[in-house]
Structure 1
Amino acid sequence: SLLCGRMFSEEAEKIEKYVEGLPDMIHGSVVASKPKTMQEAIKIETELMDKKVRTYAERETASKRKLENTSRITRNQQQQQQHSNKRQNTGRVYTAASGHYRRECPKMKNNNNHGTQGGRNNAPARVYAVCRTGIDPDANIVT
């Protein structure tokens, strides 16, 4: 009987010391479950820790999905804005000869030009033609 009491007190001390060393997040739950053996204390602790880890991992995964989804939406919006900006800033250039103005270009006289910005056919813009006349073969300058 004395041996049984001593073994019980030693087991209780081991359980108490074991539970004291547990993290705060599960300490109270293990104490509240009042484990009678060391194996029971370890089993309760393992189950609680596994549950905490799973919950944490699920939250992290949900957070990452939310972040990835948000960044994907933002990236798509930026790409759409870039594409729409490119479409808005396009125009046609017709060349004639050096010194000619855009408003004098016969192709620009058409009022149904969809490629011109708002049909402003008299915008002052110079047009230069690139041709082979007057080329100095020894020149190393490209303009």
Structure 2
Amino acid sequence: MAPKRTTRANPADTTATTSVTNAQLKAMIDQGVTDALAARDADRNTNGDDSHNSGTGVRRTERVARECTYPDFMKCQPLNFKGTEGVVELIQWFEKMETVFSISNCSVENQIKFSTCTLLAGALTWWNSHVRTVGHDVAYAMTWTDLKKKMTDKYCPRVEIKKLEAELWNLKVKGTDVIGYNQRFQELALLCVRMFPEESKKIERYVGGLPDMIQ
């Protein structure tokens, strides 16, 4: 017969004596452990299977960045380009597209595929013709830099580029409008890349257009 644990009431108390066998005590402990494990598993199922830093007790949730989809890309509102808007609009298309790449976390592999979906009218016809000429795989394997150069060659004829290069070479701050000078300089520099094979030359040209007191 297993020994009994007894709890004796105070003589002045009317509570009855309670006896608990070893087997009953063990069953109570086991049930408590089982309930605790069940509660832990339920919490994991609700909040995800989080891991803990070893020895610290600090919960760490590992998150995997979700790949940018085409709907994600379009939610960032990229500009359309038809090919008839002119040089300034082409520059703005380039700049806006690069902003969208950044904020949408668009992968390099999808940049050409997604960006060319914003081409319309004549620009879309030109792109589709290029795809048919070189093949789908080759066309969409090009880099964003290559696409910008190709579109610049197409929509900014050499005669037009020479005019822009002359404007850039003679560009100066008008009055105190340094902000306007900065914007126009950046626009022209994007298209007149042949003028500055070295970054130092571009900086020299930029400083040359500033008033003497700013220089």
- TM-score computed with the length of structure 2 as normaliser: 0.25
Which protein has greater RCO, CA pairs closer than 8 Å, 6+ apart? 1
Quick check: which has more Rg, 1 or 2? 1
